[in-house]
Structure 1
Amino acid sequence: MKDEKEPLEQKQNSEEEEYSFLQEIIKDEAGDQAKWKHDVLRRIQLGLIFGLVACFTFFACKPWVEKRFEEDPTEVTIPQDEQQEEDQTQQEEEQVQEQKTVLTTETYQEMLNNLKQVSGEVRKSVVEIQGAVTEEEFSKDQEDKEKSISGMIVADNGQELLILAGELPVKDAKIIRVTFSGDSQCDAILKSRDAGLGLCVYAVQRKNIADDVWAQIETATLGGSKVVSEGDTVIAVGKLYGCDTIAGYGVIESGENYLDKADGQYQTIYTDVAGDISGSGVLVNIRGEVIGIINTSVRTDDQTNKISGYGISDIKDVIELLSNGKNVPYLGVSGVEVSSEMQGQGIPQGVYVKEVDAGSPTMAAGIQSGDIITNIADTDIINLLGYHNTLMKQNVGDKILVRGKRQGTGGEYVDIDFGVTVGYKQ
């Protein structure tokens, strides 16, 4: 009997083992729903935190990223004078045609209207620049028009609007603002400066200029000043009396004089247009092309109440350097070309050194008054123009070899060599 039970028990045990993997699980649906809601809320919270961190990081890094990845400014190139003979011929033909015209009251009025139209177009390129040390001083001096100057828009490098002007009446100005036509103002910086000629380039960020202001301004068109002559019609636009921007009309009295400066000679243009000694602005021809920059340093004793300035042709290379934020190369030599008559007296061909600026690179190198400069940086020098053009091709800080001649005790000229570091006028 016992033996019969054992197989039966074993059979029951094996059946239990066979179906032991089937277990009943009672699902807590309320608990699962709560867990799901908890996961959703947790993910929403994490998303909000991530979004806040991302926004903070974006705004914190935006200035650095913009500065890092913004496009480099385009290099400014100022075209030099070309085809002057053709321009001169065209000018002479225009003058002949004018002479054939019989002037009446109507034709005279028409001529004035045309000049007024030209000056109106030029005004789009002329701005007012004012500087101050503090914001309080700026607000106080804003009504004082004599503490501002006129400037000319010369270029747009893609990031900045570049403005050529003289030095501000307020020295060491910390705040500089430019006023465009329509009285719209923008902050500016002093980009570069040439103390030798008293010229500066100021820069306004393009992004700070409103679209409606952009529509009202234009870059000035530079002409050539070498073809101007006495009696040519000239228009002066700017702060001619140191106050409001106005236009004055007249003729050129002289365009053949040159002002001696360190490292070059610069054409000066004298007009019969009335103006104050503090006047600033531009001189343009009847086509609206800039032929001169008004500057008080070129005035003579008999020109105190008349507008005058630098001829544009001789300062185009300076404008290009300043517009690109570069300093103007400087050696500090006031010289004169050795003429054929002087060569006949035994003086070597080259540039005769009349004077050396105190503290200049050439003085530091040992160049003296009376020396003859014959070669700069492996370029032969036969006149002052060649000297100037060669110097303008150098970079500030370059160490160059200057070769020349010096008269010995016996009257003969001997070779001299100097190593000179190119500087800039401060």
Structure 2
Amino acid sequence: MNVSRTRNATAVVVVAAGLLLSGCSSSGSGNSGESTTQAAPMAEGDLQDDYQKVIENVLPSVVQIDASDSLGSGVVYDDKGHIVTNAHVVGKERTFKVTTATGEQALTAELVSSYPEQDLAVIKLDDPPSGLKAAEFGDSTKAKVGQIVLAMGSPLGLSSSVTQGIVSATGRTVSEPRSEGSAGATIANMLQTSAAINPGNSGGALVNLDSEVIGIPTLAATDPQMGDGAAPGIGFAIPSSMVKTVVDQIIKDGEVTDSGRAALGITGRTVLGDDYKPAGVAVADTQKDGAAAKAGIEAGDIITKLGDTGITTITSLSEALAGEKPGDKTEVTYTRQGADKTVDVTLGEM
């Protein structure tokens, strides 16, 4: 399965649509059947009220970001004007126009710092307006499969749009597509959702019914059999636990000082085997005093396994490392001049 970033929009097509809520009913007879039928509309009304309450609470904290040649979304992080979004939304830009949910005149903002390794960035409004409302970030570790969520953002440039769905899965490790010379981030513990995520939703809010942001929508899956068209109902969001870790460091120090991400400390490239299929990662260089160098791994070695996980590509190595932590000890299997070797490695930090 492929994934695509949800940043750019070059055309907008608006289709009027309504939301149809249907209640559940159970088989029965007599009075119990009648009471079940009467209770359904009330349940629908309660859920609709919950949706509207969440939207009233959170949507004012979701903004549209104009990054010169692209549009994305962002979430107000505090009343000082800090806004969290995706690194791929800000790209290489340093100044931005920000439009709030009220649709008033665009505000100006500047980049504080970008952290492409986790596809997160923080920008700051030059002149935060009075009454700026920060979103409440919840605990994404408590997210459950089947939990109702709303995605808020500016898909296709349609600001203040809301879609609904559920948490479809947790703990996904997803690698972003390469672009503009970037290898693409590999992000662990992502939330998968069925809420529609379209171009422009990147950097917005994935919200639970307690009006808490539990994720930042970032990627939509694509289906190669459909010419890499969107795979409906499969989107991914960076968990709020990671968002808070990264953003708090950027606001405090101007950069990420503790990534919490494991690393081997190598520069590598995917190599092909005799069958012309990916067969491992060739080490092009090792960082001095890095984890690999300390374990005796050298340039020219071909890494084929990390722990029990087979390594065939740079992406598979990144995904394997995403499940580890700095300081963890693991075995690395590699080939040197045709001979297989295995060493114990204490992983470093990205």
TM-score range, shorter chain: 0.5 to 0.7
Corresponding residue number in structure 1 for 2:239: 311
Residues 359-404 of structure 1 show CA distances to partners (whole Å, capped at 9, x for unaligned) of 774599574625769xxxxxxxxx968953559xxxxxxxxxx997
Q: 2:255 aligns with which of 308, 326, 329?
A: 326
**Structure (1/2) with the larger helix percentage:** 1
Corresponding residue number in structure 2 for 1:270: 192
Q: Summarize the alignment of residues 333-344 of structure 1 with structure 2, pairs less than 5 Å apart.
A: 333=264
Q: Summarize the alignment of residues 273-422 of structure 1 with structure 2, pairs less than 5 Å apart.
A: 273-280=195-202, 281-296=204-219, 299-301=221-223, 304-306=231-233, 307-324=235-252, 325-327=254-256, 329=259, 332-333=263-264, 361=287, 365=293, 367=297, 369-370=303-304, 387-388=324-325, 413=342
Aligned pairs, how many? 262
Letter in 1 for 2:325: H
Corresponding residue number in structure 2 for 1:209: 128
CA spacing shift, 1:108–1:235, aligned 2, 3 Å: same
Letter in 2 for 1:288: S
SS in 1 for 2:255: coil
CA spacing shift, 1:203–1:108, aligned 2, 3 Å: same
CA spacing shift, 1:163–1:355, aligned 2, 3 Å: farther
Q: 1:229 aligns with which of 144, 149, 168?
A: 144
Check the 8 A contact 2:87/2:115 in 1, yes or no.
no
Q: 1:181 aligns with which of 101, 120, 123?
A: 101
SS in 1 for 2:134: coil
Letter in 1 for 2:174: L
* Structure having the higher Rg: 1
Letter in 2 for 1:128: Q
State the TM-score, normalized to the length of structure 1: 0.50
Q: In 2, Cα distance between the equivalents of 1:233 and 1:227?
A: 13
**Structure (1/2) with the larger strand percentage:** 2
Check the 8 A contact 2:197/2:217 in 1, yes or no.
no
Q: In 2, Cα distance between the equivalents of 1:273 and 1:414?
A: 44
Q: In 1, Cα distance between the equivalents of 2:284 and 2:162?
A: 40
CA spacing shift, 1:222–1:171, aligned 2, 3 Å: closer
Q: In 2, Cα distance between the equivalents of 1:317 and 1:356?
A: 32
Q: 2:84 aligns with which of 156, 164, 170?
A: 164
Residues 329-354 of structure 1 show CA distances to partners (whole Å, capped at 9, x for unaligned) of 5775499xxxxxxxxxxxxxxxxxx7
SS in 1 for 2:141: coil
Check the 8 A contact 1:162/1:201 in 2, yes or no.
yes
- Structure 1 residues without counterparts, runs of 5 or longer: 1-98, 133-140, 142-146, 336-353, 374-382, 392-401
Q: 1:238 aligns with which of 137, 149, 153?
A: 153
Letter in 2 for 1:326: E
Letter in 1 for 2:128: I
Residues 130-154 of structure 1 show CA distances to partners (whole Å, capped at 9, x for unaligned) of 123xxxxxxxx8xxxxx32110122
CA spacing shift, 1:263–1:370, aligned 2, 3 Å: farther
Q: In 2, Cα distance between the equivalents of 1:263 and 1:334?
A: 16
1:190 Cα offset (Å): 0.9
Instruction: Give the aligned CA root-mean-square deviation in angstroms.
Output: 4.3
- Structure 2 residues without counterparts, runs of 5 or longer: 1-25, 27-34, 177-183, 225-229, 267-279, 308-319
Q: What percentage of residue pairs aligned between the two structures are identical?
A: 21
Q: In 1, Cα distance between the equivalents of 2:283 and 2:262?
A: 9
Check the 8 A contact 1:253/1:270 in 2, yes or no.
yes
Q: In 2, Cα distance between the equivalents of 1:301 and 1:184?
A: 38
State the TM-score, normalized to the length of structure 2: 0.60
